Amino acid sequence: MNESPVSGTSPEVLESHRKYIGQLEKECPVRAAINVLRGRWKPSILCEIAKGPQRYSEMRKALPQVSAQTMTVQLRELEADGLITREVYAEVPSRVEYQLTPLAESLSEVMVELEAWGERYLTERAQSPSEKPD
Amino acid sequence: MNESPVSGTSPEVLESHRKYIGQLEKECPVRAAINVLRGRWKPSILCEIAKGPQRYSEMRKALPQVSAQTMTVQLRELEADGLITREVYAEVPSRVEYQLTPLAESLSEVMVELEAWGERYLTERAQSPSEKPD
DNA sequence: CGGAATCCTATTTGATACTG
DNA sequence: CAGTATCAAATAGGATTCCG
């Protein structure tokens, strides 16, 4: 319709913002790691693929809360981040398989620690009465 | 301020959505942990406070990219999540100090692992030429 | 089957100005 | 000093429809 989409933000500003974020990540690997896992479904998706190579449709069945669009986006991002590989088989009903890279496998070990901490966090939060119980 | 904001989303829907998220967290401690660290500045903020009790103004100086509003919001959320304590001293120029709880200290150990992985991730990403270099 | 395109809502963050 | 209020922008995710 119109050449400048919704807002008037120029491409240069967006570009410099991307560089800015990139710079922040270089200075803070923790933030970089968190950004990789930040998508709401990425831990679950990685968890599923960790069980073995998974097809798109299998994952949709395993995670029915995730819409097709979101699933695709998250998979693409994980792929761009080097955590999963995407293999297309030239078969009649087309078939695509995702699997973890070694980089993602090393992340799995950290996720185990993260899970242990998460359990402690959930326990303590459930005990403290003055906090927001959600 | 007003009970029905801008859009027509009913409070019941929002409420059920909150419960839904809460349920997801209970089923996935990893997600719960990531959500706690999900704010863009929270790792940096925790890092600062890990150096010792910090005042609001000290943290604003240490992290000048973070606006006052955002700093306040992130601190409040960390407090609500039981990661930091907020102590107000009744002095003449008012003084507020934040410090880590034991829960946050245990998270620091996980963050060390996360940092190590983040460094590997950044290295591998810098080497692969076909990925988005940002 | 495995998506892409479009549109829409919700959440997060930032900028600016003001306050106890 | 340590915020709060208000407004605006950016980001993330979902719903629906269409495509090779």
DSSP string, B21-36: HHHHHHH-HHHHHHHH
Strand partners, B95: B89
How many residues can be counted in chain A? 134
- Please report the number of interchain residue pairs, chain A to chain B, with beta-carbon separation below 8 angstroms: 129
Hey, what are B95's tokens? 């003084």
Instruction: For chain A, positions 25-64, list CB contacts with chain B under 8 A.
Output: 25-26, 28-34, 36-38, 40, 43-44, 47
Give per-residue pLDDT as tens, A48-74: 999 999 999 999 999 988 999 999 999
**Closest C-alpha to B37, from B74, B89, B67, B68:** B74
* Cα distance between residue B104 and residue B31, in whole Å: 16
pTM of the model: 0.82
One digit per residue, pLDDT tens: chain B, 134 residues?
A: 333 333 334 455 555 555 555 566 667 899 999 999 999 999 999 999 999 999 999 999 999 999 999 999 999 999 999 999 999 998 888 999 999 999 999 999 999 999 999 999 999 988 874 444 33
φ/ψ (deg, to 5) at A6: -95, -60
Is B113–A110 a contact, with Cβ atoms under 8 angstroms apart? yes
Instruction: For chain A, positions 86-115, list CB contacts with chain B under 8 A.
Output: 103, 106-107, 109-111, 113-115
